[in-house]
């Protein structure tokens, strides 16, 4: 607009310039010695023609500029309308999906209720001996009666038969109170862990005592731990501990079922006493845990807190001790629900302060959103502080003085921090307050540098010598060798070791013992410093990370 105004001012000043030129021309004409052929009128007409031409062109450009601005505004409005239409359509589809899901759950609940009534009537088989005596109920052992009744409820999942469950074996393990078999089944079917987890609360109904069954399944949580064992790297023990936590969570789901008359029917006082004994046995083992070493992902602390929450025995333990354990499980997706179940909601500001002071701002932001404390703990400054500290930790290493390995570690730390911050911004919808474009550009830059270094390293490796085309020159020629029956010679069994997945939370091949489960999609997919924590997207039944 300033350029347009200056051009307009210059055009308007042409008239005064022409007058000045006229005076100069008259003065020149007065001093001329010879009559000039060029007349002033001709010059004046020429300059006025130029002035009109410039003004006309200037007005044309102004009109084109206004037309362009109008089109830009209209296009922006059209784009906003289309975006709003897409968002409305997505919300409508999600609402429809939720309605269908609620309708399905309602239908299944009604079917279970009807089947339970029918099974209750059938369980009372009345016999009359013809002597006018009072009717007697057909005798059955108490455990068998409970098991059969619960089994009828389980098998009425969809069509009133056990075929409605994808894994009917779960019912058999629960009916037989076979915790060892259930652990092994979960280990062998770890790829379908999400589907199994959905059916375990239903299968628990077949158990004579679901709460006691879960307590029995906790026996190997510490029993397999040896003095020389590296707990963090032993896949079998990690798998068992995750399974134990999952079973306690499934029992909590069963206790919240609307079909259950009262949780006290399952969690009896005797069961609570047993759970308290287990908790007292586990408690001394937690004293040696280091908050920094656990990095917010301690299975031991999580299992202890889940035991207290599931069996409702938190009141028997010191609240300060529970407060100390919360930062050790801050990366676990169940942390918020655990804190609410344990009655620690009012202590969350203190937990967040501890996380911030220990340099774990990502976890602090997640908990601040979970407990609506974002006004007290502003997310954007926390994320910027986390990224600043990560870069500051990387700054002392200078490329000229550090080894390639140290430089790679520094770049990897910054890359991990950037990805964690971007993930948190996207999950909590903070793009307007903290744009991610500069962060993403930095991520691309670091990943490109990482790939270039990898290519250079691989190119610098010595290449193995290739044999000549005629096969002569690199070894003695052997003749008269009797070939085996098979075309390819058999390789010794011990030449190549068995391949084992070198990845966190992945089982090795099937074994007699339990193995950890394969990770699902993250409830957070966070980088190593910060794992999956909250699933803020609109999704149903997210993959279970246990």
Is residue 463, in this structure, part of any structural domain at all?
A: no
Tally of structural domains, the chain: 2
Residue bearing the bigger pLDDT, 64 or 226: 64
| Number of residues assigned to the chain | 546
Mean pLDDT of the chain: 75
Residue 227 has a pLDDT of 59
Distances (CA, A) of 157 to 111, 160, 261: 8, 6, 19
Is residue 83, in this structure, part of any structural domain at all?
A: yes
pLDDT digits (tens, 9 = 90+) for 191-200: 999 999 999 9
Question: 3-state DSSP call for residue 89?
Answer: helix
DSSP letter string, 349-384: HHHHHHHHHTT-HHHHHHHHHHTT-TTTS-HHHHHH
pLDDT digits (tens, 9 = 90+) for 255-278: 888 777 677 778 999 999 999 999
Query: Rounded CA gap, 348 and 424, in Å?
Result: 19
List the one residue out of 206, 210, 190, 209 whose CA is nearest residue 252: 210
Is residue 28, in this structure, part of any structural domain at all?
A: yes
Residue 213 has a pLDDT of 93
Residue 142 has a pLDDT of 34
Distances (CA, A) of 435 to 421, 443, 536: 11, 14, 19
Residue 196, C-beta contacts closer than 8 angstroms, at least 6 positions apart: 167, 170, 186, 189
Highest mean pLDDT among 7-11, 295-299, 490-494: 295-299
Q: Are residues 90 and 12 in the same domain?
A: yes
Residue 139 has pLDDT above 70, yes or no: no
Is residue 533, in this structure, part of any structural domain at all?
A: no
Among candidate residues 261, 280, 300, the one where a domain is terminated: 261
List the one residue out of 156, 142, 146, 151 whose CA is nearest residue 170: 151
Residue 389 has pLDDT above 80, yes or no: yes
Is residue 135, in this structure, part of any structural domain at all?
A: no
Q: Are residues 4 and 84 in the same domain?
A: yes
Q: Helices 235-255 and 179-188: crossing angle, nearest 10°? A: 110
**Please, how many CA atoms are within 13 Å of residue 22, restricted to the half-sphere of its CB?**
14
Among candidate residues 208, 227, 261, the one where a domain is terminated: 261
pLDDT digits (tens, 9 = 90+) for 10-48: 777 777 888 888 888 777 777 665 455 556 778 788 888
Q: Are residues 111 and 171 in the same domain?
A: no
Query: Rounded CA gap, 304 and 311, in Å?
Result: 11
Residue 161 has pLDDT above 50, yes or no: no
Is residue 481, in this structure, part of any structural domain at all?
A: no
Contact between residue 235 and residue 516 where contact means Cβ atoms under 8 Å apart: yes
522 — pLDDT class (breaks 50, 70, 90): very low
Residue 457, C-beta contacts closer than 8 angstroms, at least 6 positions apart: 404
pLDDT digits (tens, 9 = 90+) for 101-132: 878 887 887 777 777 766 655 444 333 444 34
- Mean pLDDT along residues 293-321: 90
Would you state the torsion angle of the CA atoms of residues 189, 191, 194, 199, taken in this order, to the nearest 10 degrees? -20
pLDDT digits (tens, 9 = 90+) for 324-361: 999 999 998 889 999 999 999 999 999 999 999 999 99
Q: Which domain holds residue 28?
A: 1-115
Question: In sequence order, which ranges of 234-333 are alpha helices (DSSP H)?
Answer: 235-255, 269-286, 291-294, 299-311, 319-325
Among candidate residues 261, 290, 316, the one where a domain is terminated: 261
Is residue 377, in this structure, part of any structural domain at all?
A: no
φ/ψ of residue 136, rounded to 5: -120, 145
Is residue 218, in this structure, part of any structural domain at all?
A: yes
Lowest mean pLDDT among 132-141, 359-368, 377-386, 396-405: 132-141
């Amino acid at each position: 607009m300033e350029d347009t105004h200056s051009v307009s001012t210059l055009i308007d000043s042409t008239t005064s310039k022409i007058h000045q030129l006229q005076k100069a021309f008259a003065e020149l004409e007065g001093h001329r010695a010879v009559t000039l052929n060029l007349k002033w009128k001709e010059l004046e007409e020429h300059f006025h023609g130029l002035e009109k031409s410039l003004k006309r062109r200037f007005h044309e450009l102004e009109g084109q500029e206004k037309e362009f601005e109008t089109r830009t505004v209209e296009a922006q409005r059209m784009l906003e309308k289309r975006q709003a239409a897409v968002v409305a359509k997505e919300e409508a589809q999600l609402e429809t999906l939720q309605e269908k899901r609620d309708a399905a759950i309602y239908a299944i609940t009604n079917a279970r209720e009807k089947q339970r009534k029918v099974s209750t009537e059938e369980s009372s088989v009345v016999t009359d001996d013809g002597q006018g005596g009072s009717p007697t109920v057909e005798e059955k052992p108490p455990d068998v009666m409970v098991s059969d009744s619960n089994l009828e409820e389980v098998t009425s999942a969809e069509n009133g038969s056990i075929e409605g469950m994808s894994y009917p074996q779960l019912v058999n393990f629960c009916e037989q109170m076979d915790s060892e078999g259930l652990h092994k089944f979960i280990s062998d079917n770890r790829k379908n862990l999400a589907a199994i987890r959905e059916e375990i609360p239903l299968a628990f109904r077949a158990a004579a005592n679901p709460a006691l069954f879960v307590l029995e399944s906790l026996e190997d949580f510490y029993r397999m731990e040896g003095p020389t064992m590296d707990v963090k790297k032993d896949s079998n023990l990690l798998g068992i501990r995750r399974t134990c936590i999952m079973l306690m969570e499934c029992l909590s789901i069963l206790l919240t079922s609307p079909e259950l008359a009262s949780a006290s029917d399952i969690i009896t006082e005797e069961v609570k006493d047993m759970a308290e004994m287990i908790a007292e046995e586990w408690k001394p083992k937690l004293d040696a845990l280091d908050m920094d070493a656990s990095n917010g992902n301690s299975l031991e602390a999580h299992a202890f807190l889940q035991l207290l929450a599931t069996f409702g025995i938190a009141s028997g333990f010191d609240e300060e001790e529970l407060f100390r354990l919360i930062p050790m499980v801050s990366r676990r997706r169940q942390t918020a629900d655990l804190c609410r179940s344990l009655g620690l909601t009012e202590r969350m500001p203190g937990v967040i302060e501890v996380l911030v002071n220990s340099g774990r701002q990502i976890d602090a932001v997640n908990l601040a959103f979970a407990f609506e404390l974002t006004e007290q703990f502003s997310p954007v400054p926390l994320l910027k502080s986390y990224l600043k500290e990560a870069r500051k930790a990387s700054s002392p290493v200078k490329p000229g003085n550090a080894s390639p390995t140290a430089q790679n570690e520094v770049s990897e730390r910054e890359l991990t921090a950037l990805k964690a911050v971007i993930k948190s911004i996207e999950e909590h919808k903070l793009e307007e307050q903290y744009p991610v474009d500069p962060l993403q550009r930095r991520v691309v830059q670091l990943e490109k540098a990482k790939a270039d270094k990898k290519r250079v390293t691989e190119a610098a490796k010595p290449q193995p010598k290739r044999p000549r085309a005629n096969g002569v020159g690199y070894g003695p020629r052997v003749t008269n060798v009797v070939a085996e029956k098979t075309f390819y010679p058999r390789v010794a069994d011990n030449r190549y070791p068995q391949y084992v997945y070198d990845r966190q939370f992945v089982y090795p091949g099937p074994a007699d013992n339990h193995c950890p489960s394969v990770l699902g999609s993250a409830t957070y997919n966070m980088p190593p410093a910060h794992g999956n924590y909250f699933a803020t997207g609109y999704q149903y039944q997210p993959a279970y990370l246990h």
